[in-house]
Amino acid sequence: MEMAAIGMSKNRQLHFVTHLYIRQGYAELKSGVKPQTAENTATLKTTNFKLYKLDSGPSTTVNVSKSEGENLYREMKTIRAMETAAFGMSKSHQQHFVTHLYTGQEACAVGIMKAIRPYDAVITSYRLHGYAYLKGVSVHRILAELLGRQTGGSKGKGGSMHIYNKSSHYYGGFAIVGAQVPVGVGIALARRFAKPDAICVTVYGDGAANQGQVFEAFNLAKLWNLPVLFVCENNKRSRQEGDTSRLTSSDDMYTRGHYIPGIWVDGIDVLAVQTATYWAADYIRSGKGPLIIELDTSYFHGHLIVKDKIIGDHKEDKKKSPEYERDPLTLLRHQLLTTELSSSEDLQIIDDNIDDDVAKSVYRATHDAEPELNEMYTNIYDNAQNMTVRGCDVFTNYTYE
Ligand SMILES: Cc1ncc(C[n+]2csc(CCOP(=O)(O)OP(=O)(O)O)c2C)c(N)n1
Ligand SMILES: [Mg+2]
């Protein structure tokens, strides 16, 4: 019946908004389909939100134009292709660093980053490639960093977990679980002085959420009503320890701020993430203080990969689990096609162009040079001159020029 309704809409026999109930395998999702207008927009219904300490929340109805929808798709597809390339580089032993891939979680970074302003700060854990890319570090520079090349985002000296972009206020990845949360609160304080309506998006995992420093950060953020958007990416996994339900007393991360309001969002639905982030950012910019967004999500490639070894749950091993059928790209693709905002040919062209661009970035990165040896002792201190740095043994010293 629903497929027939789509067909009728496609043939322009159906001239009013239709709420379709289409089985996605992992969820039943309502898509409101509106006849195409001159501006080529459609009205879609996001998945529902859950609210904590809020009387009202974001709307579940969202108007999307063809270019907006395809732009979201393009960004998610770019991250997917970049991560797939990184996975391949690691499996083939070209890459030696430990790498935490973002495959499966693309809607989180894209939905958030499309809803905030360029001067808003962002700070994240080590699972950072998507955020770094959306904050202006090119795919080539990210892949080059993974390979330890001098063209990498951190000149090949940081690796996957340490990529930053000061000019776009991306304060990078933290390998120490949860360490970015209090730092994010500090950045919010600094940003408030520098630009009163700027916010700091502070992203952490469900594993980090149980740390004491997170609650200390919540306390100060609320006490001083700082402009922080805490985002907990709840992938229900924290390293090879497996399912977080073994480690946490409450999995409702959006309620864990006690006196800080929160919103639960389906992190597979990029439109829901974007809508909730717009709403939350407005709330914070209006001076009401911090807010928590929990994004329900899951990753596909295990906790991390090092060379060809995957640590933690991997999608291939979990094919039968409904959790792993939740794919943000499949969902958005479905929404764009059923609303007729895009044709499958439109999306194929996007896919092909991105695959081509990423392949070129892989080629460039693999052919880029490694850092010179004297780069080993630069970028240790800020503005350091004539400073002596000890080498690998007590007899070797290096001096900053
Ligand atoms: C302070 C600290 N403790 C332990 C570790 C080891 N460790 C690395 S990742 C990780 C799991 C974190 O899980 P979560 O915060 O949910 O992030 P996810 O990897 O799921 O994105 C742990 C325990 C660490 N890096 N830092
Ligand atoms: Mg986790």
CA 286 to chain centre: 25
Give the confidence band of 287 by pLDDT, cuts at 50, 70, 90. Answer: very high
For residue 127 the two structure tokens come to 């699972």
What residues contact residue 14 under an 8 Å CB cut-off, 6+ apart? 5, 8, 33, 35
Give the confidence band of 26 by pLDDT, cuts at 50, 70, 90. Answer: very low
Given a cut of 90, is residue 204 above it in pLDDT? yes
Distance CA 110, CA 2 (A): 29
DSSP string, 80-133: HHHHHHHHHHHHTTS--S-B---TT-HHHHHHHHTTS-TTSEEEEES--HHHHH
Give the confidence band of 386 by pLDDT, cuts at 50, 70, 90. Answer: confident
CA of 296 to the centre of ligand 1 (A): 17
Given a cut of 70, is residue 349 above it in pLDDT? yes
CA of 369 to the centre of ligand 1 (A): 32
Given a cut of 50, is residue 149 above it in pLDDT? yes
Q: What is the reported pLDDT for 35? A: 44
Given a cut of 50, is residue 34 above it in pLDDT? no
For residue 105 the two structure tokens come to 């979680």
pTM of the model: 0.89
Mean pLDDT of 54-58: 98
Q: What is the reported pLDDT for 240? A: 62
Ligand 1 atom with least separation from CA of 179: 1
Ligand 1 atom with least separation from CA of 233: 21
Q: Is 354 exposed, middle or buried (0-12, 13-18, 19+ CB in 10 A)?
A: buried
Given a cut of 80, is residue 45 above it in pLDDT? yes
Ligand 1 atom with least separation from CA of 205: 15
Mean pLDDT of 10-23: 40
Distance CA 350, CA 96 (A): 31
Lowest mean pLDDT among 285-289, 302-306, 344-348: 302-306
Contact 272, 47 (CB under 8 A): yes
CA 92 to chain centre: 26
Ligand 1 atom with least separation from CA of 175: 25
C-alpha torsion sign, points 292, 293, 294, 300: negative
Of 177, 214, 304, the residue with max ligand 1 atoms within 8 A of its CB, to mutate for a pocket test, comes to 177
pLDDT > 70 in the chain, percent: 86
Which protein residues are within 6 Å of ligand 1, measured from CB?
Answer: 125, 127, 175-177, 205-208, 235, 237-239, 303
Q: Which residue's alpha carbon is at the smallest distance from atom 4 of ligand 1?
A: 177
Given a cut of 50, is residue 25 above it in pLDDT? no
Q: Which residue ranges form the domains of the chain, and what is each CATH number?
A: 2-45 (no CATH), 50-367 (3.40.50.970)
Q: What is the reported pLDDT for 246? A: 79
